[in-house]
Amino acid sequence: MNVIEALKPVRWIGSSLRDLRSFPSSVRIEIGHALFAAQAGKIDPAAKPLKGFGGAGVLEIVASHEGNAWRAVYTVRFRDAVYVLHVFQKKSAKGIATPAREMDLVRRRLAEAERDYKERQA
């Protein structure tokens, strides 16, 4: 099996792909590299477990560009795919925590990814 065959497919939930396409080029490249690592079963240095999801099943890619913070949240909970749940520019002035509305959206999209994965297994 070659490297390309071993890669898990990336599945985009909600507006995540459209949102990513609106990011600056350098941010898209950084997030792309981290997602490629996830497809290969690895964790990129830019990715870390997202707090509030009990372990390393949901990860957050952190990218910076011109003083702004950009995030991509994905899950590797499923054996056969990487699901990108949400991408956004972090605008919170309240420290490093991910804003509650963003976390709520991640939770809803994780449930959507779980439904999608189960349907594909049937």
Report the pLDDT averaged over residues 89-99: 70
The pTM for the full model equals: 0.90
Burial label, 102 (beta-carbon count in 10 A; 0-12, 13-18, 19+): middle
Residue 3 confidence (pLDDT) above 60: no
Report the pLDDT averaged over residues 61-84: 93
> Which two tokens mark 89?
């520019």
Instruction: Give me the phi and psi of 19, to 5 degrees please.
Output: -65, -45
Residue 98 confidence (pLDDT) above 80: no
User: pLDDT value at position 113?
Assistant: 96
**Total structural domains within the chain:** 1
Residues of the domain holding 54 = 3-121
> N- to C-terminal Cα distance for the chain?
26
What's 14's domain CATH number?
3.30.2310.20
